[in-house]
Amino acid sequence: MSEGRLSPFHGLWALTNRELKKWYKEPVILLLSLVQPILWIGIFGKAMNFASMFKSASIEIPGLTVPKQIIDEIGSLVLKQTFGTTDYFSFLAVGMLSFIVLFTSMSSGMTIVWDRRLGFLGKLLTTPVPRGSIIVSKVIASIIKSLVQATIILLIGVLLGLRFSFGLFAPMAFVITYLSLFLLSFGFSSLFLMLALRSTRWETQMAIMNLLNMPLLFSSNSFYPISSMPWWLKPIALVNPLTYANAISRWALLGITPQVSVILSMLYLVAFAAIFTTLGITLSWRYLSL
């Protein structure tokens, strides 16, 4: 018979480990989840080559010859003004880091729906494991998955031609990038777990994911800067946490000056993570303690 006082976090690692085991034991699923961002980088990023638009020959207007050099100069200027860099591929590749984090964190909600459907959650609730540990273990596992997948995307980006132009001391640039992705994953995992808490149908959860996936992506600065958005989209982009994670990563890895200061962006992400984690844990405590 087991005795007495258990720490409020006991079982946390055992549960996290379970989630991770299920993940790395199925490399096919891991690889499949990487397909989308790789397609975006590999095809979209390579084909949407803004730089080539201006890399034409000189222009002959009657009475005036604009030399190629000037065209190139104007091109760089326009690109720099729009994207903050002349290298759209790198701009997009770094933007895809937050995309994979969003995607991976979203699917963490599915795991709780499956656990409920397959009776595992019910079994967990008959053990003395703290109710908070059930949710927190899923959040931690989701963060680890997200960061590993982001690293894979980053490496693939580098292989395909992503060029760093660090805004600060290189190791620090990575630390800051990962910190922003960590916070992003923290918030999104908690949010989607919270949405999935009471759901017994995985179809519902899938629908929620599909509904939010693209809008979240397209209302952020993942593909294009906020400055080029229509007026009505800008405020949405400024609430979207993806925007801040992208801004921080691009500042750190590509040296692109962000619209909102890095510190404020980071604080925004901290608040995002803190609010949804608190909500998630509070609600899970309530719903799972039935």
Partner 1 sequence: MNEPVIKVSGLTKIYPGGVLAVDHISFEVHEGEIFALLGPNGAGKSTTIGMLTTSLRPTEGEAIIAGYSINREPSRVRSVIGVVPQEFSADEDLTGWENIMLIGYLYGLPKDTVKKRAAELLQTVGLYNVKDKKVETYSGGMRRRLEIAIGLINRPRVLFLDEPTLGLDVQTRAAIWEYILKLKKDYNMTIFLTTHYLEEADAYGDRVAIIDRGKILVIGKPDELKRNVTWDTLFIEVSGSYDSAKQALSILPQVKEVSFVNGQIVIKVADGPSAIPLVVSAINSTGQEVKRLSLNRPSLDEVYMYYTGKSMREESMSKEEAFALRRTLRRARS
Chain residues in the site for partner 1 (CB under 8 A): 1-3, 6-7, 10-11, 13-15, 18, 21-22, 25-26, 118-120, 122-129, 290
Find out whether 242 and 216 touch, Cβ atoms under 8 Å.
Answer: yes
CA angle (218 as vertex; 216, 224 as ends), nearest 5: 135
Whole-number Å distance between alpha carbons of 241 and 266: 10
Please report, for residues 26, 108, 138, the alpha-carbon distance to residue 12 in angstroms, rounded to integers and kept in the order given. Answer: 22, 16, 9
DSSP tag of 65: E
Q: How far is the CB of 211 from partner 1 (least distance, A)?
A: 27
H-assigned helices in 84-227:
88-117, 120-125, 131-160, 170-196, 202-218
Question: In the complex with partner 1, which residue's Cβ is closer, 3 or 60?
Answer: 3
Q: At what angle do helices 202-218 and 170-196 cross, to 10 degrees?
A: 140
Q: How far is the CB of 281 from partner 1 (least distance, A)?
A: 17
Question: In the complex with partner 1, which residue's Cβ is closer, 141 or 256?
Answer: 141
Please report, for residues 50, 131, 270, the alpha-carbon distance to residue 56 in angstroms, rounded to integers and kept in the order given. Answer: 12, 63, 45
Q: What is the token pair recorded at 286?
A: 């309530």
Q: How far is the CB of 150 from partner 1 (least distance, A)?
A: 24
Question: In the complex with partner 1, which residue's Cβ is closer, 1 or 61?
Answer: 1
Q: What is the token pair recorded at 208?
A: 């929620």
Find out whether 248 and 177 touch, Cβ atoms under 8 Å.
Answer: yes
Q: How far is the CB of 205 from partner 1 (least distance, A)?
A: 18
Question: In the complex with partner 1, which residue's Cβ is closer, 7 or 69?
Answer: 7
Question: In the complex with partner 1, which residue's Cβ is closer, 263 or 290?
Answer: 290
Q: How far is the CB of 143 from partner 1 (least distance, A)?
A: 20
Question: In the complex with partner 1, which residue's Cβ is closer, 15 or 247?
Answer: 15
Q: How far is the CB of 214 from partner 1 (least distance, A)?
A: 29
